Amino acid sequence: MKSKRLNKTDIHPDFSEEMDLFMRNVYVSYDKKKIVLHNISLDLNKGEILGLIGGSGSGKSTILRCLTGQIRTHRGYVRTANCDVIKNNDELVNKIGYVPQLEYLSLYYEFNALENCIFFGRNYQIDPEEIKTRARRIFEILGFENEAILQRPVKRLSGGEKKRVSIAVGLINTPDVLFLDEPTTGLDPHLRISVLNFLLKINREFGTTMVIVSHDLEIVDYCSKVVILNHGRMTGYGRPVELIESLPSGGRAVLIEVENIDPERKMERILRIDGIEYVLNAGRNKLKLFVTDTGKISTILDRFYEMNLNVKSFSIDKGTFLDYFRLRGGVSIGDLE
């Protein structure tokens, strides 16, 4: 049965006021010929964190523009912070924050951290003293405990410090939803984790709903839900643990080490072994097998010996989000770089 076509004033029957993000059956076409988003449906409750993961051209930025009302959908329904993103866009602007990938797009480098917050906070008609109070609280959570750092021109701050000032500016209007576009790009591994930990502290302290756009899989550990995108289509969506558990045997796998033989040459034959659904290369002479029943591993090992693959060791291992991504994400790791 076809679903009822909604009028502009209608609230979608699946929508709940507990949701800060809501998209149903969204299609976007820039030239009315090429569709760049195909049937996107997602939702996120207040205070949760959503990760949008995909390579260049996957549709991450287009979803961001839909959720912030910057573009109209060709078809479908979008609501952010309980606002119709097009009809109530003026209201929406005051209820969201945005942190761009490149800090120079959101910061004045001659200003210090507090001056940047005051400048952008005045756009929301917030009193300067109130801005200073908010900013100092945010900077405290973001690890700026030294007054000298707050007074230092942004151009003299480190890359990680600039990123945190950009986050503070995005939070100065106490948004219901904070959008972050590649917040860890260009940072070394230590700083990437630090920034994500600061975001988690902000989320817990203020209950801020967040959308993190990224090609780094490490953000998954901080997300309530994730969306994997490939060429404008969702190839994965849900809570990370549930996605992993959707793999065979509830996400449990068999880790096998094979002696002195390259198993890649016999991969097709291995996949034909009854009970094996997926095989991943897990390192030198190591394979991770996702099987229908881990209790029948002895039968599978017999087939390995028949193929002259001498198994040195095996163990039952837990699947990871990286395993899920490699098997069902539809995106190669190289596409994310």
Superfamily of domain 19-242: P-loop containing nucleotide triphosphate hydrolases (3.40.50.300)
Q: What are phi and psi of 86, to 5 degrees?
A: -100, -55
Q: What whole-number distance in Å separates Cα of residue 146 and Cα of residue 229? A: 41
For the chain, which residues make up each domain, given as ranges? 19-242, 248-318
For 182, left (φ over 0), alpha (ψ -120 to 50), or beta?
left
- CA 149 to chain CA centroid, Å, is 30
Task: Tell me how far apart the alpha carbons of residues 34 and 74 are, in angstroms, rounded to a whole number.
Answer: 11
- Name the stretches of the chain with pLDDT < 50: 1-4, 6, 8
Location of structure tokens 């004045």: 108
Contact (Cβ atoms closer than 8 angstroms) between residue 236 and residue 328: yes
Other residues' Cβ atoms within 10 Å of the Cβ of residue 241: 10
For residue 4, the tally of other CB atoms under 10 A from its CB is 9
Q: What are phi and psi of 154, to 5 degrees?
A: -55, -35
Q: Which fold has domain 248-318?
A: Alpha-Beta Plaits (3.30.70)
Within a 13 Å sphere around the CA of 243, how many CA atoms are in the beta-carbon half? 24
pLDDT reported for residue 331? 59
What tokens does 64 get?
């961001």
Start-to-end C-alpha separation, the chain: 42
What is the distance of C-alpha 260 from the center of its chain?
Answer: 39
Amino acid at 32: K
| Tokens representing residue 147 in the block | 């007054």
Q: Is 47 left (phi over 0), alpha (psi -120 to 50) or beta?
A: left
Structure letter (DSSP) for residue 296: G
pLDDT value of position 263: 62
Number of H helices, E strands in the chain: 12, 14
β-bridge partners, 288: 255, 280
